[in-house]
Structure 1
Amino acid sequence: MHHYLQKLINLRSNVGASKEEVENLKKETVELKEKEERASKEIKQLKKELSNLSEGLKKVKMESEEKDKKVETAEAHVASLQKQAADLLLEYDRLLEDNQNLQAQAMGHKS
């Protein structure tokens, strides 16, 4: 009888320890679920932020491409104006020379 009582006491203490372990495991499970929920929310938020940043990057790239095109157009316009200015300077020099020749001829006829 004593032997069985000793076994019963051991089993009850093991049951108590097991119940305590079960309670601890339940608490850990609840904590892990809460952490998982927080992590899930954070992941969703980060994905949304990443999506917004990606859209912003695309927009900036498009704006950059548009500005690059405007710069190319402006550079072509500047080159065209520089060529036109050089041509006008050559024409001015030719007309100045013609004017000097005509003035020299006019002076020659007056004398």
Structure 2
Amino acid sequence: MIQLLFTVIISEMVLILLFSFKTPLRKLVILAVDRMKRGRGPIMVKTVAGTVLIVLLSSVYSMVTIQKRWIDDGAINPTDQVLMVKHLLEATLMGGSLFLALMIDRLHHYMRELRLRRKGMEAIKKQSRAVEDGKVSKSEEIKALEEERTTLETKLKQLESVLDSKTKDITTSEANVVALRKQSEGLLLEYDRLLEENQNLRGQLQSVERRLSRSGSKKNS
């Protein structure tokens, strides 16, 4: 019994040391404890712990009984001394094993929580990096859009200047067309006047020729 308890305590101490230091075996130990806590594992552990606790209480009761016997008899029996030491050692070992088992359970729980929190922190860091990368890409996109807007504004100003010059040219051309139209109208009026004068002169010339022909015919007769 005592050898078994020593073996259990040494095993528990080794597990605590493996939990305490970061080694390749720690992951294996954590996985083993995880599997032990699944299925029927917790029931078996509670059963063993309950049995050890009952034996511990039995040893304590035996020590109390032996101590009462010493008080009643007033003398110390060597056999009772051996039994007292045996029960005391067993109770100490069983109490220590239960305490170390509780420590292992708490260490496993806290390390599991720590691992989950680390994973959560890593996920948050990845998300923050992704957000920062998105911000950088968005800022670059905004800069590109601003440059494109500046280029378009420059082109728009150039087109506006070209449009103004074309508008001025069109206005000048329209003024020239109006002037040419007025000039052509004046020329048409002048042409009509000259044509009318030409007709008048022809009429006068014909009348003069008629008179001359009449006067010549009178002389011949």
* TM-score of the aligned structures, taking structure 1 as reference length: 0.91
The Cα RMSD (Å) is 1.3
Residues 13-50 of structure 1 show CA distances to partners (whole Å, capped at 9, x for unaligned) of 11011111111112222222222111111111111001
- 1:56 positional shift: 0.7
AA at the equivalent of 2:116: A
Name the larger-Rg structure.
Answer: 2
Q: Which has more helix, going by share of residues? A: 1
State the match for 2:144 in structure 1: 45
Aligned length: 111
Q: Give 1:55's aligned residue.
A: 154
What percentage of aligned pairs have identical amino acids? 33
Who is 2:123 aligned against? 24
Name the structure 1 match of 2:57: none
Q: Distance in 2 between matches of 1:30 and 1:9?
A: 31
Q: Which structure is higher in RCO with an 8 Å CA cutoff and minimum separation 6?
A: 2
| Structure 1 CA distance for aligned equivalents of residues 209 and 127 of structure 2 | 119
Report the counterpart of residue 86 of structure 1 in structure 2: 185
**Structure 2 Cα separation of the partners of residues 55 and 110 of structure 1:** 80
Unpaired stretches in structure 1, ≥5 consecutive residues = none
Query: Post-superposition, which runs of at least 4 consecutive aligned residues in structure 1 deviate over 3 A?
Result: 2-5
Question: Runs of 5+ in structure 2 lacking a partner?
Answer: 1-98, 211-221
